[in-house]
Chains A and B, each alone.
Chain A
Amino acid sequence: MTRTLWDSSVGKKTIMAVSGLVMLGYLVVHMLGNLKIFFGSDEFNHYAHWLRTLGEPFLHYEWALWIVRVVLVAAVVLHAVSAYQLSRRDLRARPTAYVHKRARASYATRTMRYGGLILALFIVWHILDLTTGTVHPGGFQPGHPYQNVLDTFSTWYGNVVYIVAVLALGLHVQHGFWSAAQTLGVGNATRDRVLKALANVLAVVLTAGFVSVPVAVMTGVVS
């Protein structure tokens, strides 16, 4: 069955759908956690520390976090490799372009591949910035995420990179969520409107939630 999944274009889409939904689930939780920044540094830093003690005493310190990281890396890799292979197949299937050009499909649909690339690059920068602190502006302080977030969003490029990536995420989720539902066979004529509405709500809520943090730092609401 694993072979069938990986060898078939429909199977690979299934892998993309499931890994995409795993990442989407994580993003919803991540966005809600980010909003804690509006309750001040103590609550935000305490939340970040709690994430490391999650599952104790059954799990060791930071184990829950590492489990999440391993699952996410697996999801990102499966999603990206499937996307790459499927895109190659798609491009090979239409070797000669039409002379008469016209825009096909919606903007969100057409930008899935570029959007995915932007998001992949963003994830690398985001981890180097706020997890390892390698490219963090100013002194990165482990255990003090509130100050680290303020540092990042006090630079113009930090804001630009973040907001562009979050907008790309919104577009990606808008088509991706609905698309995943079709791939997993959940979609039908009667459910279509509900699924499309759900995709739009998810896209808007995620985008607004994530963007609110840099905007709050820029406007001085969070300082």
Chain B
Amino acid sequence: MATTTLDPRDGPTWMQRNRMTVTPILFLLPGMLFFAVYVIIPIFQSFNISFYRWDGLGEATYIGLANYEELLTDRNFEISLWNNVKWLVLYLLAIPLGLFIALFLNQTVTGIRLYKSMFFFPFVLSQVVVGLVFSWFYLPREGLLNGVLTFFGMETVNVLGDPDLATYGIIAAGLWPQTAYCMILYLTGLNAVDPEQVEAGRLDGAKGWKMLWYVILPQLKPATFIAFVVTIIGALRSFDLISIMTNGGPFGSTRVLSFYMFEKALSEFGFRMGYGSAIAVVLFLIMLVFIGYFLWQMWQDEREARR
């Protein structure tokens, strides 16, 4: 054989032919693997465990839907569920609050950077510190809140000791850093607002609220979306504040689903893994509504961008 001719059947290798498909898959593989092991599979495991009675150590007994039936009659679960709703609704206040502080701070005055950082400061604090500071603020006798109330001759109030008020007290504490977060999102968003459009709006006679509503806000839509996402997520993981400020009490009135799940499954007196998993499944379904909405929204945006 003197010469090696190219066999027409030899063509590019399989790898070469499929490079466009294989490369992204290879790049995605590690991430997908971890996502599967740490997120997807545990979700299905939780679904599975929720059909068992299991203390985490011994034998698991299959009990079908009994855990869910118990949830239906469990008053603590009901309270936790309602508290979750309160958190979700009231936590959203952080978005308008953040917007107005951002609008207020979006001006050029000497020292504005200092003011901005002061407003941003609470977000830098750990949730645990925020919780501690607020629980001191609410203290029934020494607390600042009651000091002020007494000064104005009003009745003192034990916010964290009153089952009707405690949840609102904790949400107020959570709003403090969350408002700062939304404010920062809007401040960056405001930088991107097109001055020409503002100018054009002004020529057309838009002022005040109209200007805000028809010219500024539509341009802030991406910031609003992100603010909404982080606030919803923040409301659903309110665990640390509750744990620090009331530990779920008084008599369980400030629990949310994540806290109740922890208590039932993992705390000192818990270890009902099946029941905890059933709570986790309910929490997951609630989250799924929001996750579905977020994904749909992002998909829409992407489609629009491609058009």
Q: Do A and B bind each other?
A: no
**A interface, CB within 8 angstroms of B:** none
